[in-house]
């Protein structure tokens, strides 16, 4: 691979997922405004932000191929962001108990040299158990998922919160749909195997 590959993300979970593909890559965290725009649907927000992150990194790395990602979780049409603290996480998980949450994971692969952009949203639906307040508090005290959309990390103890999952790529739930990424990389002549 002649061009550097960059993951435009501050997420340690996305970095860990990308490492599974055994590709050489660098990680840079793009500083962008992640606010939802007025009348913007959650999947539109996720897609716009994934593209914006990739383009932001392209400003300083014009020869790179850049992976931008973003994830927005929704419950009954309400967007659930990163809780940021224990109290907000308790509120989110109380709202989610016994319900379905859709995680809209947006992926963008941007070749800054050619300005070729591929972008797509990969949805993943999670059904949450009807947990007690004590179970929610215990989970949050152990896992502390305050930087995760929807206050849950399925790759850890958060799997105990979930009763069922539906989607084409379980990695989408963590925030980096690897199946779709491999397809995008292949179209840029980057082969994993």
- Catalytic residue list: 70
Nearest to 28 by CA among 54, 49, 51, 1: 54
- What does the alpha-carbon distance between residue 189 and residue 24 come to, in Å, rounded to a whole number? 15
């Amino acid at each position: 691979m002649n061009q550097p590959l960059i993951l435009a993300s501050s997420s340690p979970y996305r970095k860990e997922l990308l490492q599974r593909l055994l590709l050489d890559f660098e990680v840079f965290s793009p500083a962008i405004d992640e606010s939802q725009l007025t009348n913007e649907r959650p999947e539109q927000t996720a897609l716009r932000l994934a593209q914006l992150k990739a383009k932001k990194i392209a400003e300083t790395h014009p020869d790179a191929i850049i992976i931008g990602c973003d994830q927005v979780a929704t419950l009954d049409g309400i967007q659930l962001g990163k809780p940021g603290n224990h109290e907000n996480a308790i509120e989110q998980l109380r709202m989610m108990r016994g319900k379905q949450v859709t995680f809209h994971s947006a992926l963008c692969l941007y070749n800054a040299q050619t300005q070729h952009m591929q972008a797509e949203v990969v949805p993943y639906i999670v059904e949450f158990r009807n947990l007690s307040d004590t179970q929610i508090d215990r989970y949050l005290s152990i896992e502390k998922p305050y930087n995760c959309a929807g206050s849950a990390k399925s790759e850890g103890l958060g799997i105990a919160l979930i009763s069922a999952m539906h989607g084409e790529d379980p990695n989408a739930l963590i925030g980096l749909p690897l199946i779709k990424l491999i397809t995008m990389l292949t179209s840029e002549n980057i082969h994993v195997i």
